[in-house]
């Protein structure tokens, strides 16, 4: 269902340039990419569109090389680019070299945000949600005016992400992340939530007042945002 929705969005994109897709990572996204890759293997139209698209990662850990199995560069390469033969040149990541302010752009827009803007802007932004309501690595308290930058991770995020690492000391404490303003600029956003551990965050996102204490809730102010949740993640939203 979610992958049908994405496949249709991607197939329906018509512009004089390739589509720009903002990518998210995490356990939830793993399944979404698996379905998308399966569909693309059966549909040359979708495979061509995905092959031509430009990809802009939402976030990346500080200090992990692209060869580290827990880096988001590795995640995207293994789950999306390689299976579909997509050129690595089409994939962009936030990093130390592009989080500085963009020269001549005025204000605090980063080089990474300027790259997205120069490419025509993000057409389809994919997103997950953290257990504490974070969006990309915009932790609670992140400003809605924030652009791509280097951020500190909260203890709760470090703990949640430690399941992917063999030792807690290996879990990065910092990351590069698109800002909330960067994400709000996208033409459309699709957020995925799965599992019981996301139920409270999803309730706060969709039922609470949009605010910086739950960064994902700011998306409820976006004109074209869609949420897909499984039953467990949606369990606190039931009205019956
Ligand atoms: C990380 C990512 C987020 C993602 C979150 C949820 O913290 N930076 O972008 O939304 O994980 O991941 P999962 O689906 O594994 O719970």
C-alpha–C-alpha distance, residues 122 and 100, integer Å: 20
Token digits of residue 189: 């956003």
Q: Is position 59 annotated as part of the catalytic site?
A: yes
pTM: 0.96
Q: Is position 139 annotated as part of the catalytic site?
A: yes
Provide CB contacts within 8 A for 109, sequence distance 6+. Answer: 101, 102, 117, 147
Strand partners, 227: 191
C-alpha–C-alpha distance, residues 234 and 95, integer Å: 34
Residue nearest to atom 1 of ligand 1 (CA): 26
Rounded to 5 degrees, φ, ψ at 114 are: -65, -40
What is the three-class DSSP state of 92? strand
| 109 Cα: distance to centroid of ligand 1 (angstroms) | 24
C-alpha–C-alpha distance, residues 220 and 206, integer Å: 7
C-alpha–C-alpha distance, residues 199 and 4, integer Å: 24
Q: Is position 230 annotated as part of the catalytic site?
A: no
Contact 179, 148 (CB under 8 A): yes
Sign of the CA dihedral with 80 first, then 39, 55, and 186 last: negative
Nearest to 213 by CA among 113, 135, 106: 135
Contact 216, 205 (CB under 8 A): yes
Average pLDDT by consecutive 10-residue portion of the chain (240 residues)?
A: 90 91 96 95 94 97 96 96 96 97 84 97 98 97 96 94 90 97 98 97 96 98 97 86
pLDDT of res. 119: 97
Residue nearest to atom 9 of ligand 1 (CA): 136
Which one of 20, 60, 134, 222 is the catalytic residue?
A: 134
Rounded to 5 degrees, φ, ψ at 149 are: -160, 175
Q: Ligand 1, closest atom to CA 24?
A: 9
Which one of 20, 132, 138, 161 is the catalytic residue?
A: 132
The pLDDT tens digits for 88-122 are 999 999 999 999 999 887 767 999 999 999 999 99
β-pair type (174-177, 149-152): antiparallel
Q: Ligand 1, closest atom to CA 29?
A: 14
| 130 Cα: distance to centroid of ligand 1 (angstroms) | 5
C-alpha–C-alpha distance, residues 75 and 34, integer Å: 12
DSSP classification of residue 208: S
C-alpha–C-alpha distance, residues 235 and 212, integer Å: 23
DSSP classification of residue 36: H
Sign of the CA dihedral with 130 first, then 66, 184, and 16 last: negative
| 26 Cα: distance to centroid of ligand 1 (angstroms) | 4
pLDDT of res. 240: 55
Q: How far is CA 95 from the centre of its chain?
A: 15
Contact 111, 165 (CB under 8 A): no
């Amino acid at each position: 269902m979610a992958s049908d929705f994405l496949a249709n969005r991607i197939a329906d994109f018509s512009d004089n340039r390739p589509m720009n897709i903002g990518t998210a990572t995490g356990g939830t996204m793993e399944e979404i990419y698996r379905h998308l890759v399966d569909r693309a293997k059966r549909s040359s139209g979708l495979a061509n569109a995905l092959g031509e698209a430009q990809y802009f990662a939402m976030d990346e850990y500080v200090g992990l090389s692209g060869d580290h199995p827990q880096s988001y560069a590795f995640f995207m390469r293994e789950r999306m680019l390689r299976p579909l033969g997509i050129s690595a040149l089409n994939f962009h990541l936030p990093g130390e070299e592009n989080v500085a302010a963009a020269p001549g752009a005025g204000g605090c827009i980063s080089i990474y945000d300027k790259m997205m803007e120069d490419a025509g802007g993000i057409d389809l932004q994919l997103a997950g949600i953290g257990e504490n309501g974070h969006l990309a690595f915009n932790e609670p308290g992140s400003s809605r005016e924030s652009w791509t930058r280097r951020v500190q991770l909260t203890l709760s995020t470090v703990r949640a992400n430690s399941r992917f690492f063999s030792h807690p000391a290996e879990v990065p404490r910092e990351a590069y992340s698109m800002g909330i303003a960067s994400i709000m600029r996208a033409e459309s956003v699709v957020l995925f939530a799965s599992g019981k551990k996301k139920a409270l965050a999803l309730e706060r996102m969709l039922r609470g007042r949009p605010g910086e204490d739950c960064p994902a809730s700011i998306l409820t102010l976006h004109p074209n945002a869609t949420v897909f949740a499984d039953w467990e993640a949606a369990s606190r939203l039931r009205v019956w």
